Structure 1
Amino acid sequence: MSAGAGTLGMDQAIWRPKANPWIIGVVVSLAAFMEVLDTSIANVALPHIAGNLAASNDQSTWVLTSYLVSNAIVLPISGWLVGLFGRKRFFITCIVIFTISSFLCGIAPSLGTLLIFRVLQGAGGGGLQPMAQAILADTFPPEKRGLAFALYGVTAVCAPAIGPTLGGWITDSYSWRWIFYINIPVGILALALVYSLVEDPPYMARLRAKGIPAFDYIGFSLLTVGIAALQIMLDKGQEDDWFGSHFITILAVTAAVCLISLVIWE
């Protein structure tokens, strides 16, 4: 093993943040909880969104699809973006984008603008979970990581469980717009705490100093089109009678060609 690799491994094993690791764990789990909750909370509000924005029920399902597609595209390039901006800066940027786009979703005057803001929100949310897990892995020593990830796992399990109930209550008691507005105070709190407490470990600065890997534009294009086609096919397939629909068939072929080409390219 080279001296550089040995130093990198030593940094990862020895370095610990200044703040209490458990506080950091709660903070990053809060940000991830916000994103996971938003994935499920909008489901029950779709009929209200459709009625309020003069859209059909089928059209309103794009509120979910647009978010999931954008989220799935950002997720695999999170590592490259961390190399470009740094982990803490990228995590903060994701929180800011997610929080601002939540506000924009809440004030959206039409379904078209809501979908645009949901794409933006999905892009911000796509980096929250992988960054939260990476921060936990570096923050805790090996013997405590299992417990730390168990804490994180609670958020991943609880958020989808309470999302539909909370979304239904908010929509019936107030307005569907509040399912997005509730992200604003949580996002601001998470932003302030992450900025104050989270640190990038020393080894990340050395990795960035070595240079950022070249961005694979062809691979990213294949991945983007393939994932988008696959996600839309899975979301819309049941509504459109699966392969009885030319639209779904085209999506399936597109996804297969792009993803197989991606494997060959890589």
Structure 2
Amino acid sequence: MASAESAAGGATGGTNPWLIALVVSLATFMEVLDTTIANVALRYISGGLGVSSDEASWVVTTYLVSNAIVLVASSFIAKRYGRRSFYLACLATFTLASILCGLAWNLESLLLFRVIQGFAGGGMVPVSQSILADSFPPAKRGQAFALFGVAVVVAPVIGPTLGGYLSDNYSWHWCFLINGPVGVFAFALVWFLVKEPDSLRKERAELRRKGIRFDIVGFALVAIFLGALEVVLDRGQTDDWFNSTFIIVVSAICALAFLLSIPWLLTKENPVLDARLLGQRQFGSCFIVMGATGAILISTTQFLPELLQEFYGYTATWAGLALSPGGLVTMMMMFMVGRLSSHVQPKYLIALGAAIIAAAMWDLTRVYGDLNFWFFAESRIYIGLGLPLIFIPITSASYFGLRPDQTDQASALLNGARNTGGSIGVSIASNVLAHREQWHQSRLVEHVVPTEPAYQQTLQSLTQYFAQRGATLPEAQSQAIAFIGRQVDTQRGFLAYIDVFYTLMLISLCAVPLALILKNIKLGEGGGGGAH
């Protein structure tokens, strides 16, 4: 895409390229916003649709998985059928699906529309990057990608706060309906401003002349593998894992799709996914690190608001605001790390970022009932310090040693790793939370029995306390027993969340050695934008 026509602004048709940058950044902002806007609204969605909190979390994971699936196919589809046409189709479908999500009448319909929304959104980010590359000459692309990067970073910051405000003051439906007018506006701007460069028309004609077709078999195998894996992770705890025939069948389908995809993707002339990239030490390590980072980012964005709402009585708005300072720090750090990455090897920055995030997760294991707003805001700030140290250097590190024709695949795979990792991270955290809540409940109630002296003493003290406040003796004893029950429930919740944060800490620590085995690169070189 770095052709002479690109440098002259082949995608702009004479339009100011900065206007193009604003348009595609707006559409991408809307798409990335939807990865986090529903997180703080899950309690409202759970109550509104009459489902459990675990089932409500599927609203997040289905979007991420479908988004990751289509990423691997977006590059070929854009080249084969026209980048502008594909982008407009994605934008229109995303907008319509968003409106349908807001009008969903039950969980099944909401999940269906979220899958459609994820499929459409998955094609928008990489195509946006390609449009930017074709709209600016090489000397100014860095500035354009910086604007695009700010939009990508700001969206997850605003998402929880905006979603919380809309849920508290209007309805959770507006977390999705708000995309309607924004999507229509963005569609109109793209329709009139973005043009298809002649070089892409020639490339499309060449693909047709050679008879190169979309790898539907490879795409189906990847989609079945990722989809089945997500079903197993989401439903495993609820269905008692491998004691369930359903889980066994879906696990077998997942394993079969994975095994069949390996020889297919390795031997196909034009596979939907270049699996050989994952076998390289450099790119494969970056892929895993990006997946781990996505797991931390998306999991904490979902579970911190849930913790604040369930045990600290925060509204959805205030739960979202607790995440905002960390997002602002991330945005400022993006520019600092951009300069730092010209002087320090990426592997050291990535390892430092992963270590900082692990320390933030360890800090969160100190949760107890009397913590204030700033404890959680500061923990998010630590995460905000670590994330840019991974997201920016990992682009240069992952592109090192790749041929120019592999960069589109590398970008799609990195984006897919982030989303798939986020989905798997949410599922793992949900399962850890549910399992450890049951385990801690069992351990705690072992001590809440009439034969325990400590229980008798506590019951007597509480009964006396409530009796002194006007309750009759039977009422006071009932209130005391209920109070003890609530304390047990609260403690098992805190202990389970502590286990979740320990799990995320271990995931982040695993990224440190993977980062350190990366090769040194020539500083000042590397791809751009792939890690978004």
TM-score (norm 1): 0.87
Q: CA deviation at 1:263?
A: 3.2
Q: Distance in 2 between matches of 1:121 and 1:83?
A: 22
Aligned 8 A contact 1:69 1:232 in 2: no
1:59-88 Cα distance to aligned partner (Å, 9 max, x none): 212211221222111111112221332111
1:164 counterpart = 2:160: yes
Q: Distance in 1 between matches of 2:205 and 2:113?
A: 35
**CA shift at 1:9, angstroms?**
3.9
Q: Give distance in 1, aligned partners of 2:238 and 2:103.
A: 30
Given residue 218 of structure 1, which amino acid in structure 2 is its aligned partner?
A: V
For 1:252 and 1:139, the matched residues in 2 are separated by: 45
Structure 1 contact 95–124 (Cα < 8 Å) conserved: yes
In structure 1, the residue matched to 2:20 is 24
1:227 aligns with 2:221: no
Give the stretch that moved more between structures: 217-226 or 10-19. Answer: 10-19
The answer to whether the 8 A contact 1:80-1:213 is kept is no
CA-atom RMSD, angstroms?
2.5
- Opposite residue 146 of structure 2, the aligned amino acid is A
Letter in 2 for 1:28: V
Bigger Cα displacement from structure 2, 194-203 vs 62-71: 62-71
CA offsets, 1:156-189, max 9 Å, x none? 1111112111111110010000001110111011
2:87 aligns with 91
Structure 1 residue 262: Cα displacement: 2.3
- Which of these residues, 11, 23, 35, is aligned with residue 5 of structure 2? 11
C-alpha separation in 2, matches of 1:72 and 1:98: 15
5+ residue gaps, structure 2, are 266-532
1:79 has 2:75 as partner: yes
**Structure 2 CA distance, aligned partners of 1:132 and 1:186?**
16
1:196 counterpart residue number: 192
CA change 1:262–1:12 in 2 (3 A) is farther
Aligned residue pairs, count: 259
- How far apart in 2 are the matches of 1:14 and 1:162? 35
Q: Which residue of the other structure, out of 175, 181, 203, is the alignment partner of 1:185?
A: 181
Q: Distance in 1 between matches of 2:27 and 2:53?
A: 30
Aligned residues of 1:223 and 1:262 also touching (Cα < 8 A):
yes
Q: Give the corresponding residue for 1:39.
A: 35
Aligned counterpart for 1:53 among listed residues 49, 74, 89: 49
Q: Note if contact 1:68-1:231 (Cα within 8 Å) is conserved in structure 2.
A: no
Moved more, 188-197 or 55-64: 55-64
Q: Aligned-pair distance for 1:253?
A: 6.4
Measure how far apart 1:25 and its partner are: 0.3
Q: Structure 1: which 5+ residue stretches go unaligned? A: none
Amino acid at match of 2:190: V
1:213 aligns with 212
* Equivalent position to 1:123, from 119, 137, 140: 119
Aligned to 2:137: 141
**Deviation for aligned residue 1:50:** 1.4
The amino acid of 1:258's aligned partner reads A
Q: For the residues of structure 2 that align with 1:244 and 1:97, how far apart are their CA atoms? A: 37
Identity level (%): 49
Q: CA deviation at 1:234?
A: 5.6
Aligned partner of 1:149: which letter?
F
SS of equivalent residue, structure 1 residue 39 = coil
Q: TM-score normalised to the size of structure 2?
A: 0.45
For residues 141 and 256 of structure 1, what CA distance do their matches in structure 2 show? 46
Q: Partners of 2:16 and 2:96 in 1: how far apart?
A: 29
CA deviation after TM superposition for structure 1 residue 58, in Å: 1.7
Q: C-alpha displacement at 1:53, in angstroms?
A: 1.1
1:138 aligned counterpart, secondary structure: helix
The letter for the 2-side match of 1:204 is: L
**DSSP 3-state at the match of 1:41:** coil
